[in-house]
Amino acid sequence: MSGGRAQALVRETMIAAGGYWRPLAAVARLLEELGELAELLDAGSGPEPLAGELADLWIITAALGDQFLAELEEPAAAAAAAPDGASADFGALVTAAGSIARVVNHYDGPKVPRAGTAMPSLHGAVADFQATLASLAAAREVDLSAAVIAKLERIRERGDIERFARDGFDPSAAAILARVGRTDLPPRLWGGPDRRPGEDGEAYARELAGPLVMFAKAARAERIEGFLLEGPEPPGAAGRSAWLRALVARFDPSGAPRGFVLAGTGLTASEAGPARGPVLALIAPAP
């Protein structure tokens, strides 16, 4: 992933805390901070108290976008990217937050897009929110870039980084992504959880299900090119192929590695590892 300095600092902070929040939890945090900002605006607060709340909103949405491999504008540049006619008022910010919640409730929740209705990408929804946030900050004489950097530095200085920790597995920060480090793999990847010693296939499939379903829903819209996971070390090529077929069958009994369906999305699964050692499987959107 690329992105500017502020996004890189958000990424470093979240990785240091053990990974990103679950997306639905990030939306809850977004709503919490919007409520706190509304209180300050109603009280007629000036730039200094507003700066911290505006920075929190940028950090939360940057972390959410970064988890889905978005490349975000720097806070100073976000206002220039605002949609035509974008308003710098609080109501416009809430409207933009609603678009984020709509997408996340599909990726990480039960929402099924209405037939014939286009679902925005999370990248686009976050970009629109941050552009509106930057416009609001400028209107309130807040230097959003400085506020974001200062807030991230304070998080580390006061030692409360654990407040940002994630509860559960984060596919965008999976250990396998750093461990494999292969240049012949697509660059925009999520990864699966590591297998526990002695863990059987059914148990691993249950652990894998949530992140893999989210990948299936988000991959095309967010341009996530693949989902990398590591299997056991079965004997010989036949054993490796059998493992991959069994894995696919747990999610789509009528499917096969060359083509199966999960969460309404066509996927493929292929071996991506060397001839010896544990199997590496790459699950990708079907062509």
Each residue's pLDDT tens digit, 174-219? 989 988 877 788 999 999 998 887 777 788 888 999 999 999 999 9
**What are 34-86's pLDDT values in tens digits?**
999 999 999 999 999 999 999 999 999 999 999 999 999 888 776 565 555 45
Listing DSSP states for 215-277 in one string gives HHHHHHHHT--EEEEE----SHHHHHHHHHHHHHHHH-TT-BTTBEEETTEEEEEEE-S-SSS
Give the Å distances, CA to CA, from 63 to 3, 78, 160, 230, 236: 12, 16, 17, 26, 42
The Cα–Cα gap between 224 and 215 comes to 8
Chain centroid offset of residue 19 CA: 10
Tokens linked to 251 = 């999610």
Q: For residue 74, what is the DSSP state?
A: P
Mean pLDDT of the chain: 87
Instruction: Tell me how far apart the alpha carbons of residues 75 and 58 are, in angstroms, rounded to a whole number.
Output: 8
Q: For the segment 170-186, what is each residue's pLDDT rounded down to a tens digit? A: 899 898 998 887 778 89
Enter the pTM of the model. 0.89
Question: Around Cβ 258, how many Cβ atoms within 10 Å?
Answer: 10
pLDDT of residue 183: 74
Task: Locate all alpha helices (DSSP H) within 1-72, ordered by sequence.
Answer: 5-16, 23-42, 47-67
CA distance 282 to 287: 14
User: 133 vs 136, 139, 239, CA distance in Å?
Assistant: 5, 10, 53
The residues pairing with 190 across neighbouring beta strands, listed in sequence order, are 227
Q: Which of 65-69, 119-123, 139-143, 228-232 has the lowest mean pLDDT?
A: 228-232
The CA distance from 72 to 133, in Å, is 13
Spans of all domains in the chain:
5-164, 171-285
Residue 234: HSE in the Cβ half-sphere, 13 Å Cα cutoff: 19
Answer yes or no: are the C-beta atoms of 120 and 103 closer than 8 Å: yes
